[in-house]
Structure 1
Amino acid sequence: MTVMWYKESEIIMGVLPDDSQSELPVELNTKARLLVNESQKTIYTLLLDIVKRKHPSFVLAIFKDLFINLADCMNSTPTRAIHEIVAANNEEVFRNTLKRCCYILVNNWEVARQHQAIRELIDIFSDSVISQRTTSVNLSRLRKWLKNFITSKDYEELKIFSLKHEEGEKGHWSYRYTSYLLVPQYIDRTNPVEQRKAAKTLAKQLKDKFKLDLAMYTARANSVEKENTMPKNPTGLGDEVLNVIKMLVARRGQFNYVNLANIFTQQTQYITYKEFKISLVKYLIFCLNDKDLAMVISAKLSDKLNSLYENHDNEEINNLLLQKTCQHLIEYLTTENHQLPSELFLVLIFQKTPLILVILLLKIVLICKPSRLHLEACIADLIRYYEQFPEEDCQWVINFVEIFNVTFTIYAEDVEYNLVKINNDRADGTMVEWEDYRVFSQLKGEPKADGKVNEKNSL
């Protein structure tokens, strides 16, 4: 649909370039760069204005006329602006303009809960007109750039925003972990600020939904009426998720993960970096029941850490060294090149010990909270690598991500899980039977049954 162009205060843009002129060099000179910057500003201003005041169908029609049809209404400032950008013959500039415009719309429609409009925006790029031949130099160039965009990572990232929360189970298995796939978008400072904001907002929404769904599921799982009122299990672990939660929550007392992290942090405050690296490996494998596996992990991590920043070995450990070291540790345990799984990841996964791997990663984050974003980006890299395989061929990886998701929801969010034994009939010293226990969850800071208040940061 072509629309009558939206009128706004005219910005003097100069004469519209002749569509048949020879192509400009890719590198823009100062004058051309200023002209393109003004043209970009014109389009951004237009979209920011109409997305707040106009119906989505009107906004989508304007967007399509600009970026798909290259409308030739010469009396329109926005039309002249998009012609200036295309005529400048710089695909990167066009791509950045297109991306920012998309995320201006996505952000505003997300706030307004216009999710259908977001899906229709993504669908615009499926228009068959993009593949049609044309004699127009500018339009031909535009369509070539659009086809490149559609096959790019940028478009794959944009498509994530068209997924409804509940569509994760219906589509590709990787959609269930969209909250992690969004992380690389909002930590990449080369992305438009609108894209980073949209990615961060959606990721938080998805994490909050999972957190609430998990708390509701565990709460109702203890109910005698659960057959009729049981909420849907938000994980892919089935009923086994309850045992995973019980194992995680059962680790209380002096040697719980948070206390161990605090003790380690206090004991390593003033030691040298070389001493810190040695202590770090001991901290990570502490309390691992499988001694053979602990030796393997210790040997491989020590080998990696020995040469890491060795020119700082005699310096006192500091926050920067801590964060950089933890980031490298995370990569050793997940993906070192952000494309393929690491050796240690494969060792631990193929030995069917995903919980051990998750606990190692948790212990790293507990001593260096800023490293969590880097960890989630690495998880996204792993998901991206394995999404090329059918779900049935990578159940072991999916199982790891599910346990990771549950573990970090329990330890790093604002819901506290408690374990209560309901069957005291078994004799002391017998093996722990998880069916004798029930899990209870509540927001941190809410009153406990005894009238006391949970500490906000207690785990």
Structure 2
Amino acid sequence: MDSWDSFSHYSNSSSNGLEERLYQHLQHCRQQQPPHRVIDRFHQLFIEAEGYVDGAIWATLGEIVRRPQAPREFKYTLNRCCYTLINPWYTQPRDHWAIPELISQFQSLPPAPGSTAMARRVRQLVQGFTQSEQYASLYRLQQIFTEAGTVVAADADDEKPLSCFIRNYPYLYDHSLLTKDSDEAQKQNIQDMRRRQETQLGVRLARYHSQNRQDSRQGPRQNPTWLSDDHLSQALSYYTGKVDGPRSHRDLASWFTAFSRSVRSFADFKEEFCEYLMGPVVAVEPKYSGNHFTRRLRQCLGEILSEFDDQRLTPFLVVELCRRLLNFLVVDNPRRPVFRNFTHLINDIGYALTVGLLLRLVLFCKSAKPWLERCFAVLFNYHEQLPRQQVGWLVQGLEHVNVALITNFGEFGYQF
């Protein structure tokens, strides 16, 4: 994980004029030359690093890499150089091919250290960049532009690493494709990619749902997920249908929101919140009315911000409670992820009931939805180098979260 101190120092550095020369040079090259020529220049400057056609820019790079803070901060500079080209290429669909092509330059670094001290220094720092959070996010972006448009994987894809399929999960984009040094243009482009993918998936799910309710003789249904037809139909029914008498998840969240306004204290709210979250689970699995997991959940809730138990409920307390509870339910400690509660639940009560519990939490507290997305991004990023077939439990979980969020938060004009 990056140090905030190193990024803060980089952001406030008085010598950032050197970096600006690099960025402006790359901007000029992009404006004057086609993408393939710009990528050649980028390769010559940062990958070969044995000199450059523009001596002044080569000298500028030399000043940057010789600074004592370069081992900590060069990754931010190189990342910004990449996005100086990527951001405008993204706005031109005809140039989208250049984005994965640029990122692929880092996957064929020269094996030799370099013939000069300057070449050795640049190559060493670029090698370090490939171990950074910034490059990991770039690599995931490359997969989005490399993979085919379909979200359905063939059997031959089982051996591919999970990272190859990030395009299927737009709710991961914010936390898997952005880093602390991402600029506004990059954030806007990632948001645009996310909206497009969510809309496409939402439309495909709505069509599948409509076909599912009609005569099956109309032809094969086009399942836009990796869930089986039966599991997808059950998931759509559970996340959009009735789970508590006549009430859906959304209805329950609306009811509990109204109810929470009348609770006398934060402690009372936490007790009722547990009942709200676990009620539909207990209706299907009665043992969860007081088993070991539910007792631990109550204990977790009781300990969160207990110093405020006597106070009235506030938005801050609700959001902070939900964030910490998601850490308990999904994953804690991004440096060394602990996710035993999540795997216990999916193994014991299945994906629908588990994800339904998470859905009720974020439907009640919409401000916690980005935290839920962050939790699953932590799981994805932690397992992304493993073959898809080795993390089937996570793939199924990601798919269920996709369906739950799209059908309850989607804005694509289709009703389920």
**TM bracket, shorter-chain basis:** 0.7 to 0.9
1:260 aligns with 2:249: no
Conserved in 2, the CA contact under 8 Å of 1:182 and 1:203?
yes
Structure 1 residue aligned with 2:209? 218
> Which structure has more RCO (C-alpha within 8 Å, separation ≥ 6)?
2
* Paired residue type of 1:233: N
| Residues 407-426 of structure 1 deviation map (CA, whole Å, 9 limit, x = unaligned) | 111111125xxxxxxxxxxx
- Label 1:126 to 1:172 Cα distance change in 2 as closer, same or farther (>3 A): closer
1:105 aligns with 2:59: no
| Residues 27-81 of structure 1 deviation map (CA, whole Å, 9 limit, x = unaligned) | xx99x953x3111111212223443453101221222232223464586443332
Please, which of 370, 373, 377 is the counterpart of residue 373 of structure 1?
Answer: 370
Structure 2 residue aligned with 1:68? 47
* Paired residue type of 2:311: E
What residue ranges of structure 1 are gaps of 5+ in the alignment?
1-25, 416-441, 445-458
Please, which of 71, 80, 92 is the counterpart of residue 91 of structure 1?
Answer: 71
Please, which of 149, 157, 172 is the counterpart of residue 161 of structure 2?
Answer: 172
Structure 1 residue aligned with 2:3? none
Higher helix share: 2
Please, which of 374, 392, 395 is the counterpart of residue 395 of structure 1?
Answer: 392
- Rounded to whole Å, the distance in 1 between the matches of 2:178 and 2:321 is 19
Conserved in 2, the CA contact under 8 Å of 1:334 and 1:378?
yes
- Rounded to whole Å, the distance in 2 between the matches of 1:398 and 1:331 is 19
Deviation at 1:127, TM superposition (A): 3.2
Please, which of 401, 404, 409 is the counterpart of residue 406 of structure 2?
Answer: 409
- Rounded to whole Å, the distance in 2 between the matches of 1:236 and 1:443 is 21
Deviation at 1:234, TM superposition (A): 1.5
- Label 1:49 to 1:294 Cα distance change in 2 as closer, same or farther (>3 A): farther
Structure 2 residue aligned with 1:183? 174
Deviation at 1:226, TM superposition (A): 3.9
Deviation at 1:154, TM superposition (A): 2.5
- Rounded to whole Å, the distance in 2 between the matches of 1:53 and 1:209 is 35
* Paired residue type of 2:391: C
Conserved in 2, the CA contact under 8 Å of 1:50 and 1:59?
yes
1:293 aligns with 2:288: yes
Deviation at 1:298, TM superposition (A): 2.9
Conserved in 1, the CA contact under 8 Å of 2:253 and 2:360?
yes
- Label 1:219 to 1:55 Cα distance change in 2 as closer, same or farther (>3 A): farther
Calculate the aligned-residue CA RMSD, in Å.
Answer: 2.9
Conserved in 1, the CA contact under 8 Å of 2:114 and 2:123?
no
What residue ranges of structure 2 are gaps of 5+ in the alignment?
1-5
Deviation at 1:390, TM superposition (A): 4.1
More off after superposition, 294-303 vs 368-377: 294-303
Please, which of 296, 311, 315 is the counterpart of residue 311 of structure 2?
Answer: 315
| Residues 148-182 of structure 1 deviation map (CA, whole Å, 9 limit, x = unaligned) | 22233322211112223527634434533443443
Structure 1 residue aligned with 2:126? 146
* Paired residue type of 2:20: K
- Label 1:212 to 1:405 Cα distance change in 2 as closer, same or farther (>3 A): same
- Label 1:225 to 1:200 Cα distance change in 2 as closer, same or farther (>3 A): same
1:276 aligns with 2:256: no
Structure 2 residue aligned with 1:38? 17
- Rounded to whole Å, the distance in 2 between the matches of 1:43 and 1:132 is 25
- Label 1:358 to 1:202 Cα distance change in 2 as closer, same or farther (>3 A): same
- Rounded to whole Å, the distance in 2 between the matches of 1:223 and 1:60 is 53
- Label 1:77 to 1:261 Cα distance change in 2 as closer, same or farther (>3 A): same
- Label 1:75 to 1:239 Cα distance change in 2 as closer, same or farther (>3 A): closer
* Paired residue type of 2:399: E
SS in 1 for 2:377: helix
* Paired residue type of 2:327: E
SS in 2 for 1:394: helix
Using the size of structure 2 for normalisation, the TM-score is 0.83
Deviation at 1:133, TM superposition (A): 2.8
Structure 1 residue aligned with 2:342? 345
- Rounded to whole Å, the distance in 1 between the matches of 2:269 and 2:411 is 31
- Rounded to whole Å, the distance in 2 between the matches of 1:136 and 1:379 is 44
Please, which of 197, 201, 210 is the counterpart of residue 206 of structure 1?
Answer: 197
Deviation at 1:328, TM superposition (A): 0.9
Conserved in 2, the CA contact under 8 Å of 1:326 and 1:371?
yes
Max Rg structure:
1
Conserved in 2, the CA contact under 8 Å of 1:165 and 1:206?
no
Conserved in 1, the CA contact under 8 Å of 2:322 and 2:361?
yes
Conserved in 2, the CA contact under 8 Å of 1:185 and 1:195?
no
- Rounded to whole Å, the distance in 2 between the matches of 1:181 and 1:202 is 11
- Label 1:193 to 1:77 Cα distance change in 2 as closer, same or farther (>3 A): farther
More off after superposition, 350-359 vs 151-160: 151-160
Deviation at 1:278, TM superposition (A): 1.0
- Label 1:187 to 1:291 Cα distance change in 2 as closer, same or farther (>3 A): farther
* Paired residue type of 2:308: H
Conserved in 2, the CA contact under 8 Å of 1:71 and 1:79?
no
- Rounded to whole Å, the distance in 1 between the matches of 2:17 and 2:162 is 43
Structure 2 residue aligned with 1:443? 414
